[in-house]
Amino acid sequence: MITLSYNDTKAEISNIGAQLRSLKLKNIEYIWQPDKNIWNESAPVLFPICSGLKDDEYIYNGRTYHMQKHGFASSEVFTVENKTDNSVTLLHMSNESIKAQYPFDYELRVIFTLSEAKLDVKYEVKNLSAETMYFSIGAHEGYRLPYGLENYEIKFSQRETLYAYKVCGGVLSGEKKLILKDNNILPLKYDYFTDDALIFKDLKSKSAVLKTNMSRRSIKVMFEGFDYFLVWTVPKADFVCIEPWCGITDNADHDKDITKKEGINALSPQKTFFRSHSIEII
């Protein structure tokens, strides 16, 4: 486990999946701790897809490739490229075993930088292939809810009218439901998560605060540059995931061609894609 520290703020990151495992301020934990009976993750990095593919497969250059939900990055071993007391750069590169499911050459870096009560997470994807590379990337941090989910709310930085897009059989059905109308406060309810996550495509806000009136502490997530925003938990669990994504679940009518997939990022040879989000305890 890689440990970062900055005064009273500490973070722990696993080199397996470059996964954030702990974020503490004054020894109080804010990240969900894995539980195999509930959710055995804490903050997986989603790459090179976010969520599911139709029939768990896609087509590229006439060939069909199989890939599990959220891709493979969360189970890969990352190398520590640089490390200081309060920052670490973790690197993962394509290899021959991965090419059976993803044919591109790349470098994926996840860079964590800790400051006072704040963690910045930066993604860098470099295309080493001689052809355009197609990918998605997303965050999936789970936050502890010691007072129970229905005592929390998400406060957006702008007033929103939000529709949640329905998942059926692992793909987007085309149906949507109004969740929030001209408001910036979303009270959390277990009923929202009976089928899957709340998937929002049209969020204007670039930050959101997870808060409860039972504590003076809140968590602010800032996510400039991410096109999709998800909220997820499982019934009766005491955590919630706030997930900015550059990518989205397949649509039910998608023809599986990854070059035409909604939300896919097309990266030219030798170019680098950058995105970053931050987690602040306020």
Alpha carbon distance 78, 91 (integer Å): 5
CATH assignment of the domain containing 34: 2.70.98.10
- How many Cβ atoms sit within 10 Å of the Cβ of residue 250? 24
pLDDT digits 0-9 by tens, 143-169: 999 999 999 999 999 999 999 999 988
Pick the closest to residue 104 from 115, 93, 114, 113 (CA basis): 93
Alpha carbon distance 45, 61 (integer Å): 26
Range of the domain at 127: 2-281
185: amino acid identity, one letter:
I
Q: Given this model, what pLDDT does residue 259 score?
A: 98
**Tokens 């502890």 identify what position?**
144
Q: Given this model, what pLDDT does residue 169 score?
A: 87
pLDDT digits 0-9 by tens, 171-204: 999 999 999 999 999 999 999 998 889 999 999 9
281: amino acid identity, one letter:
I
User: Do residues 62 and 257 make contact, with C-beta atoms less than 8 angstroms apart?
Assistant: no
- How many Cβ atoms sit within 10 Å of the Cβ of residue 234? 12
Specify the pTM. 0.96
Intervals of the chain under pLDDT 50:
none
- SS3 for 228-258, per residue? EEEEECCCCCCEEEEEEEECCCCECCCCCEH
Query: Pairing state of beta strands 171-187 and 153-168?
Result: antiparallel
The domain tally of the chain equals 1
User: 214: which 2 tokens?
Assistant: 């039972």
Alpha carbon distance 219, 192 (integer Å): 21
User: Do residues 157 and 224 make contact, with C-beta atoms less than 8 angstroms apart?
Assistant: no
Q: Given this model, what pLDDT does residue 195 score?
A: 83
